[in-house]
């Protein structure tokens, strides 16, 4: 890593939208042959900075210098011409084409009769081999490989233009541990070839494992640039959120203190609840005002059990009692009538409706519960929307914005507001903090503690075991679609306790205790 001359230098960058200054006098630089992590909360300006660098957004003030030449990008083609390639979080490939066709799209080898597919596939194979992906056959359909491997193909496609700068926006969000290691091997290989890599991730463990330098944004301004080897986790988190780490850790203390105080009577009791091919018969007891964690590896049955408890899937075994009365939870609407709300892990496809406004997304569940023949008045809508936008500091504070234009963390807060507006007695949160920044996570975790203190029972499902241990008074551990243990939380319980429980019930190839942890795992 050389500090002789930056390959990218952005100086006094400002970008404004109506009512919002997304970037304010930001300085940012990258050097050849380094992995540079860009960190910050959702809404801090990371995406805007990337889009300014890649020509998606014009800048209102400042200068961008690439390889010593000042550039004024009028679009993404200008940025690509300057040697800047981008791979976004959502894989933008064509599943109906082959791997080679996707990789070489727009850069096919042409002959006198049109595209020379033999030469094009050979060029694709050569590029895959350069990145250590020689095991992929460019003639195979893209749809035949996993989403994680498709992400690696997208990176290979970006490298076809031989860029000076490679921007990777949340590239690991869809990857398992082995695929992350493959990606990191590719990144190290490119770094050693002199490519500057801009890496955006919410996974702190990954940032510390792969990056050479870190720049931190907060509220549209740069608050720090550090060599990663000189940076500790607590300093990074404090810069990102503007709060001390101790404030986050105090949430666990508040949760445990409440666990000792709340009454033990059950809100919901499930006995032998199961669904063939989905989850083995399981006993679950959810006390009033408790925070109960579901923990386990991906595919362990956490979501499947949650979906039975909220009527999203219909059980074919067992029974459920609510407040001592046996009930049939035949649908989410039936569950909502019993004051059970479920926030799905699939925020994009099953949670938010991107082409509706923030207002419409927040009131959706209340309107469904009330019935579509009795529409909420505008005054009722305003009261609900204003309450939860203020409670969760949803930004931008404009309820008429389309929700798809909000950051992931703010979308998640809209979803939480939607379900709280139904006044639930049981709230099931499936991966409520996945893919969002540490500040938004802290706000959601704080909301869970407050709900418990207000008597709401919460099921909290998270792949981040630190979150589960911090918030939950009891933890149901699942593996291979069955409940294998139930742990009462206490000072002696750690993430390693849960990992050991899973491991003691058999070897699981997917278990990787050393896998990188997300930003709130501090």
Q: What is the pLDDT of residues 45-54, one digit of tens each?
A: 898 999 999 9
Least confident range of 2-11, 125-134, 438-447, 510-519: 510-519
The reported pLDDT for the residue numbered 519 is 37
Query: In sequence order, which residues have a C-beta less than 8 Å from that of residue 439 and are 6 or more positions away?
Result: 41, 42, 240, 241, 243, 409
Establish whether domains 8-241 and 246-339+424-522 are of one fold. yes
Q: What is the pTM of this model?
A: 0.59
Band of pLDDT at residue 249, cut at 50, 70 and 90: low
pLDDT of residue 251 exceeding 60, the answer is: no
- Determine how β-strand 35-39 pairs with β-strand 213-218: parallel
Do residues 430 and 342 lie in contact, with contact meaning Cβ atoms separated by under 8 Å?
A: yes
Band of pLDDT at residue 328, cut at 50, 70 and 90: very high
pLDDT of residue 508 exceeding 90, the answer is: no
CATH number for the segment(s) 8-241: 3.40.50.300
Do residues 102 and 87 lie in contact, with contact meaning Cβ atoms separated by under 8 Å?
A: no
The reported pLDDT for the residue numbered 499 is 86
Q: Where are the beta strands (DSSP E) in 312-433?
A: 317-322, 325-327, 340-343, 426-430
pLDDT of residue 245 exceeding 60, the answer is: no
Tokens 């694709």 label which residue? 124
pLDDT of residue 179 exceeding 90, the answer is: no
For residues 116 and 35, give the distance between their C-alpha atoms in angstroms, rounded to a whole number: 36
Q: Where are the beta strands (DSSP E) in 328-467?
A: 340-343, 426-430, 457-461
pLDDT of residue 203 exceeding 70, the answer is: yes
pLDDT in tens, 217-241: 988 999 999 999 999 887 887 788 7
Query: In sequence order, which residues have a C-beta less than 8 Å from that of residue 457 and are 6 or more positions away?
Result: 267, 268, 286, 287, 288, 289, 290, 292, 425, 426, 427
Band of pLDDT at residue 521, cut at 50, 70 and 90: very low
451-481 burial, b for 16+ CB within 10 Å, e for fewer? bbeeebbbbbbbbbbbbbbbbbbbbbbbbeb
Band of pLDDT at residue 2, cut at 50, 70 and 90: very low
Which one-letter DSSP state was computed for residue 520?
Answer: T
pLDDT of residue 377 exceeding 70, the answer is: yes
C-alpha separations of 202 from 53, 264, 516 in Å: 20, 37, 10
Do residues 37 and 200 lie in contact, with contact meaning Cβ atoms separated by under 8 Å?
A: yes
For residues 351 and 412, give the distance between their C-alpha atoms in angstroms, rounded to a whole number: 9
Mean pLDDT on 267-283: 95
User: What fold, for 246-339+424-522?
Assistant: Rossmann fold (3.40.50)
Sketch the domain layout of the chain as residue ranges.
8-241, 246-339+424-522, 353-423
For the chain, what is the mean pLDDT? 87
Do residues 197 and 206 lie in contact, with contact meaning Cβ atoms separated by under 8 Å?
A: no
């Amino acid at each position: 890593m050389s500090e002789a001359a930056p390959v990218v230098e952005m100086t006094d960058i400002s970008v404004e939208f109506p009512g919002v200054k997304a970037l304010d006098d930001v300085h940012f630089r990258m050097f050849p042959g380094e992995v540079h992590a860009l960190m910050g909360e959702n809404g801090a300006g990371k995406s805007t900075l990337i889009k300014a660098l890649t020509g998606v957004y014009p800048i209102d003030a400042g200068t961008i210098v690439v390889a010593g030449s000042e550039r004024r990008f009028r679009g993404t083609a200008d940025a690509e011409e300057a040697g800047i390639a981008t791979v976004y979080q959502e894989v933008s490939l064509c599943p109906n084409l082959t791997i080679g066709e996707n990789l070489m799209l727009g850069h096919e080898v042409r002959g006198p009769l049109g595209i020379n597919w033999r030469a094009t596939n050979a060029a694709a194979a050569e590029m895959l081999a350069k990145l250590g992906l020689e095991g992929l056959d460019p003639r195979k359909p893209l749809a035949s490989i996993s989403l994680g491997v498709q992400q690696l193909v997208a990176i290979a496609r970006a490298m076809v233009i031989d860029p000076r700068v490679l921007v990777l926006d949340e590239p690991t969000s869809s990857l398992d541990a082995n695929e992350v290691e493959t990606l990191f091997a590719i990144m190290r290989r490119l770094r050693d070839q002199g490519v500057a890599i801009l890496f955006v991730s919410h996974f702190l463990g990954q940032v510390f494992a792969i990056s050479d330098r870190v720049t931190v944004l907060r509220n549209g301004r740069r608050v720090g640039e550090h060599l990663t080897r000189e940076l500790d986790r607590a300093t990074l988190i404090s810069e990102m959120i503007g709060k001390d780490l101790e404030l986050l850790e105090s949430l666990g203390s508040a949760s445990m203190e409440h666990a000792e105080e709340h009454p033990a009577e059950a809100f919901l009791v499930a006995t032998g609840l199961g669904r063939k091919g989905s989850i083995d018969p399981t006993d679950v007891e959810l006390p009033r005002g408790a925070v109960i964690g579901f923990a386990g590896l991906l595919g362990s049955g956490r979501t499947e059990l949650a979906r039975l408890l909220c009527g999203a899937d219909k059980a074919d075994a067992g029974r459920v009692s609510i407040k001592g009365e046996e009930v049939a939870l035949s649908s989410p609407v039936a569950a909502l009538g019993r004051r059970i709300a479920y926030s799905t892990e699939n925020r994009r496809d099953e949670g938010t409706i991107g082409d509706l406004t923030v207002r419409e997304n927040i009131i959706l569940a209340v309107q469904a519960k009330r019935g579509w023949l009795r529409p909420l008045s505008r005054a009722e809508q305003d009261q609900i929307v204003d309450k939860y936008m203020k409670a969760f500091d949803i930004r931008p504070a404009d309820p008429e914005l389309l929700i798809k234009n909000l950051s992931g963390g703010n979308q998640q807060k809209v979803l939480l507001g939607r379900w709280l507006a139904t006044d639930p007695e049981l709230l099931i949160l499936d991966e409520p903090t996945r893919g969002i920044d540490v500040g938004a996570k802290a706000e959601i975790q704080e909301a869970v503690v407050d709900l418990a203190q207000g008597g709401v029972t919460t099921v909290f499902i998270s792949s981040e075991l630190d979150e589960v241990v911090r918030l939950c008074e009891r933890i149901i551990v699942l593996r291979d679609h069955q409940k294998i243990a139930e742990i009462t939380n206490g000072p002696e319980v750690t993430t390693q306790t849960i990992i050991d429980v899973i491991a003691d019930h058999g070897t699981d190839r997917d278990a990787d205790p050393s896998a990188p942890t997300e930003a709130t795992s501090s």
